Amino acid sequence: MLTKLWKGLTGPSDIWCSKRPISLLQHWPNTRYRIGHTIVPGTKVPVGTLLYHGALTGPHLLTALEWVSVEPDHSIVFCQGPIETGCWHLTLKVTRPMKVLYFDGTSGAKIPEGTMDTQDLVVWSKMNPEWVGNEGKHIMDLCKWGQKSGVNGFLSEVMICDFTSHMEVVSFLNLESTRIGYSSPADLPEDLNNGLIYSRTSVHHVFEIMHSASWHEMYPGETRIMLDFSGLVSFYDTTLVPSLVPRCVGLDRWDHRVEGISSEDIERVQDRLAQALIRPPVTTSGIDWKTVLRVVMMQYLVNMTLDDRSIFRHAQQVQRRLRTVLLPYTVFAALPPNTSVTANATNSWAAPIFQECAILHTTSIAHGTTLMPSERLLLEAVRETTREICRVITKMWVSGMMTGVDPLYPREQHPKADHIHTLMGEWKEDVTQLMSWLDWSVWEMCYLPTWPFGFPGAEPPFQVQWDSASLWPDPNKGEWKRPQPKCIRRLEPYGL
C-alpha cells in the first residue's frame, strides 16, 4: 500500500511529493531516503530484549545519558582499551516495557543534510545545523523534553535516558579489545606485510557492522521495537503541516526537507505528538519469541581450493571471521598469553568463551520469567541451536590458534603448508556438518552505502583508505547523496 499524502496541488490531476511504502524500522528504505519525515511513539521495547554498550572504562553502570545497540556487532567496535587490560562490554536486559520515540530516516547520521531536522524541531522548535555533531546536546535536551511524557529513549540509534530504569545488567565482560580505531597500529603484531593486519582487520570489522545492519534491511525490519501506528506524526500530512506543501513540488524525494516549515506548523506537530505520548498506548506483554529466534546468528565459511602460496592468507581470513563471531564472548581472563598458545588435551582455557557464546542470548529468559509450555519448547530449541553453533565455531577458532594462523597470536615462523591444509580440511568438514544440521544457506548480502563510511568529513575509525574497487562511496564525488544498492560476498575479498 502506498501512502498518498500530497494531493490536489494543481487542479484535477493528483501530484504527490511522496509515494512510498510504509517502511518504518527497515534499514534499506530509511538509508535510501535518509532525510526523515515521520515520528512514531514506540509502545515498548519488549521485556527480555538485550541491549549492548561498549567503550566502558570499568564495570560500573552508566549514570550519564548514553547510546546502546541492539546488535553486539555494532557496540563491540566501541569496546576499546589497552592491549594489556582489554575493554569492558555491557549487556543489559529490558525488565519493563520501555517507552521510546522513533524518528525515521537515518536520524542517527550526523550530517548537515537534514537527517536530524525532525529531532531539532521537536525539542528546539527550530533547526540548529551548527549542533549536528553535538551528540551530548541532542540526547540531553531530548531526554529532558521527553520526561514529561515518560519517554525512556529515542531511536534510530537507541539513546537511553536512564540506565537505572527498565533494565538490569546481564553481564559486564572484560573482553579483548577490538584493536581498531584512533591509534596507530604500533601495538599490533606485524607480519611480513608490515602493518597490513591492521588495515585488513579494520576493513573486516567495518564490514561486520554493515552485515549486522543488513539483517533488518527489509520487512519486517527491526522487530524488537514495537511502534504505535495510531500515534504516527508525519510531516507529509498536508492538514497538519500545510506550509511544507510548496516546498517539495518539483523536487525528487532525495531532496525533500522539513526546512521552511512555519512556526504554526511546528506547534501543531508538537501538540499532536504530545497527545500521542500521554494517552494510554496499545501494548502487549511478554517475550518476543519471533525476535529471539531471529537473533541466533551463523557465520558462513566458503569452501576453498588453494595452493601452498595462498593458503596461509586464506586461513587467516577464516580465522579473523571466527574471531569476529566470538568477540562479544571472548572473556579477557580466558585468553592464553600472546606468546604461548599451547595445545593440550582439552583446550579448557576456551571453555568460558564457549559458555558465554552458548548461553548469553537465553540466560536472561530462563531466569525470572514465567514461561508457558510452548515457550519452554521454543527456549530449548534456541538453546540447542545456539549451543551447537557456538561449539563448532569455538572449536574451529581454537584449532586455528593452535595451528598458528591467528594474526593476533603469530608464531615466529609460519606453520607448514601441510598443517594448514589439514586445518582447512577440518574446518570444511565442521562447517559442512553444521550447515547440514542447520539447513541454512545464505552466501551474499546486499547493502546501501551508509553514513559515515565514505562520507565527507568522516572521522576515525571510518577514514579507512579504500582502493579503486571500494565498497563505499567516494567522498569526493556526489554518489553518497543518491546511494545505489550493491551486492557483495560475505567473505573476503568482499567485492563480486
**Are the C-beta atoms of residues 314 and 306 closer than 8 Å to each other?**
yes
Surface-to-core class of residue 367, CB atoms within 10 Å of its CB (0-12 exposed, 13-18 middle, 19+ buried): exposed
Instruction: Cis check for the bond before 21: say yes or no (omega within 30 of 0).
Output: no
Q: What does the DSSP assignment read for 4-34?
A: E-S--SSSSS---S-EEE--TT-HHHHHHT-
Q: How confident is the model at residue 124, as a pLDDT? A: 94
3-state secondary structure of 293: helix
Task: Count how many residues are written for the chain.
Answer: 496
Question: What sign has the CA pseudo-torsion 115, 116, 119, 120?
Answer: negative
Q: How does residue 173 score in pLDDT terms, banded at 50, 70 and 90?
A: very high
Residues whose CB is less than 8 angstroms from the CB of residue 1 and which lie 6 or more positions away in sequence, other chains included: 21, 22
Q: Which three cell numbers stand for residue 4?
A: 498518498
What are the tens digits of pLDDT across the range 185-235?
A: 444 444 434 444 444 556 677 777 777 767 666 666 777 788 777 777 889
pTM above 0.85, yes or no: no
Q: Which three cell numbers stand for residue 234?
A: 508525519
| 3-state SS record for 313-367 | HHHHHHHHHHHHHHHHHCEHHHCCCCCCCCCCCCCHHHHHHHHHHHHHHHHHHHC
What's the Cα-to-Cα distance from 29 to each of 20, 219, 446, 475, rounded to whole Å? 9, 10, 13, 22
pLDDT at 2 over 50: no
What average pLDDT score do residues 476-492 get?
72
What are the tens digits of pLDDT across the range 54-75?
A: 876 677 777 778 888 888 888 8
What average pLDDT score do residues 164-177 get?
88
What are the tens digits of pLDDT across the range 7-32?
A: 222 222 233 444 343 577 777 788 88
What are the tens digits of pLDDT across the range 108-135?
A: 888 888 899 999 999 999 988 888 888 8
Q: Where are the beta strands (DSSP E) in 75-123?
A: 87-94, 98-103
379 alpha-carbon distance from chain centroid: 24
